[in-house]
Chains A and B, each alone.
Chain A
Amino acid sequence: MTDLILSGVSKTFGNTRAVEPTDLAFAKGQLTALLGPSGCGKTTLLRMIAGLENPTRGQIKLGDDDITDLPAHKRKFGMVFQSFALFPHYTVRENVAYSLTIGGMAKPTALEKAESLLATVQLNGFGDRRVGELSGGQRQRVAIARALAQEPQVFLLDEPMSALDAKLREDMQVELRLLQQRLGITTIVVTHDQREAMTMADTIVVMSNGRVEQVAPPQEIYHKPANAFVADFIGKANFFDGLYQSGGVMIGSQTLDVPANFAPESPVRLAIRPESACLATEPGQNRIAAVVGFVRDLGPVREYHLTTDIGPIIVEYAAGSEEQKLTAGDKTLVHLPVDALRVYPRAAA
Chain B
Amino acid sequence: MTVADDLNVAADIPAKAAPGLTRKGALYGVLTALMVVFCVVPFILVIVISFGRKIEGAAWVWDFTFENYQRFFVGTLWPDEVTFLYLQQLGYSFYFAIIASLLAVLTALPFTLLLTRLKRSTQAIWLVFILSSLSMSEVFIVMGWDILLSNNSGLPKLFQVTGMTQWLKDVGWFQTLRDIGLANPRNVKFKPSEFATILTMSYLVWPYAVILLYPALSRLDPSLSEAARTMGASRWTVIRTVTLPSIRLPLMGTTLLLFVFLLGSYVTISVFATPDKQTTAVAIYSNIRGSNLNAPFGSAQAVILLISASICLYFGHLLNSKAEAR
* CB-nearest residue of chain B to A99: B231
Write out the residue numbers on chain A whose beta carbons fall within 8 Å of the beta carbon of B326: 89, 130
| Cβ–Cβ < 8 Å partners of A99 in chain B | 231-233
* A57 CB-CB contact with B under 8 Å: no
Which residues A34-87 have CB closer than 8 A to chain B? 50-52, 71-79, 81-83, 85, 87
Question: Do A73 and B234 have beta carbons less than 8 Å apart?
Answer: yes
Are B246 and A89 closer than 8 Å at their CB atoms?
A: yes
Q: Are B221 and A150 in contact (CB under 8 A)?
A: no
Contacts A88-B246, A89-B245, A89-B248; A98 near B226 (Cβ below 8 A): no
A73 in contact with B233 (CB, 8 Å): yes
Q: How far is the CA of A81 from the CA of B231 in the complex (A)?
A: 12
Across the interface, do A85 and B224 meet the contact criterion of CB distance under 8 Å? Answer: yes
| A103: interface (CB < 8 Å) | yes
List A residues 147-191 near B (Cβ within 8 Å). 147, 149-150, 156
Q: Is the CB of B223 within 8 A of A81?
A: yes
Nearest-CB distance from A5 to chain B (Å)?
A: 20
| Interchain CB contact under 8 A, A146 and B246 | no
| A102 adjacent to chain B (CB < 8 Å) | yes
Given contacts A87-B242, A89-B245, A89-B248, contact A76 B231 (CB under 8 A): yes
| Residue B229 is within 8 A (CB to CB) of chain A in the complex | yes
Flag whether B130 is at the interface (Cβ < 8 A): no
Chain A residue nearest to B227 in the complex (CB): A85
Q: Chain B residues near A82 (CB, 8 Å)?
A: 223
A253 and B256 CA atoms in complex are apart in Å by 82
B176 CB within 8 Å of chain A: no
**A52, B226: Cβ atoms closer than 8 Å:** yes
CB-CB < 8 A to B242: which residues of A?
A: 87
Docked complex Cα distance between A146 and B246 (Å) = 18
Least Cβ–Cβ distance between B219 and chain A, in angstroms: 12
Residues of chain A lying within 8 A (CB to CB) of residue B223 = 81-83, 85
Chain A, residue nearest B242 (CB): A87
Q: How many A-B residue pairs have CB under 8 A?
A: 73
Instruction: Contact check, B230 vs A50: say whether CB atoms are below 8 A apart.
Output: yes
Q: When the two chains form their complex, are residues B245 and A76 in contact, meaning their CB atoms are under 8 A apart?
A: no
Q: Are the CB atoms of A52 and B230 closer together than 8 Å?
A: yes
B257: interface (CB < 8 Å): no
Docked-complex contact B230 and A79, CB < 8 angstroms: yes
Scan residues 184-215 of chain B and give those whose CB is less than 8 A from a CB of chain A: none
Report yes or no: B232 in contact with A73, Cβ–Cβ below 8 A: yes
Top 3 A-B residue pairs of the complex, sorted by shortest distance between their CB atoms: A99-B231, A85-B227, A85-B223
Of the four ranges (under 10, 10 to 19, 20 to 34, 35 or more), the interface on chain B belongs to 10 to 19
With a CB–CB cut-off of 8 A, which chain A residues contact B234? 73
- B contact residues around A85 at 8 Å (CB): 221, 223-224, 226-227
A-chain residues with CB within 8 Å of residue B248 when the two chains form the complex: 89
Assuming the A-B contacts A73-B233, A88-B246, A89-B248, are A102 and B226 also in contact, with contact meaning beta carbons closer than 8 angstroms in the complex?
A: no
1/0 contact string of B224-244 vs chain A (CB within 8 Å)? 101111111110010001100
Q: Is the CB of B221 within 8 A of A83?
A: yes
B227 neighbours in A (Cβ, 8 Å): 79, 81, 85, 87, 146
Q: What is the bound-complex CA distance between A281 and B273, given in angstroms?
A: 103
CB distance A72 to B221 under 8 Å? no
A89-B326, A102-B237 are known contacts; what are 16 more A-B pairs with Cβ within 8 Å?
A50-B230, A73-B237, A79-B230, A81-B226, A82-B223, A85-B224, A85-B226, A87-B228, A87-B242, A87-B246, A89-B246, A89-B248, A146-B227, A146-B231, A147-B231, A149-B231
Given A81-B223, A81-B227, A150:B232 Cβ within 8 A: yes
Residue with the greatest number of chain B CB neighbours at <10 A, chosen from A50, A72, A74, A149: A72
Q: Chain A contacts of B237 at CB under 8 A?
A: 73, 102
CB atoms of B233 and A102 under 8 A apart: yes
A89 CB to nearest chain B CB (Å): 4
Interface string of B305-326 (1 = CB under 8 A from A): 0000000000000000000001
Q: How far is the CA of A255 from the CA of B246 in the complex (A)?
A: 66
The docked-state distance in angstroms from the alpha carbon of A178 to that of B236 is 37
Closest to A74 in B: B232
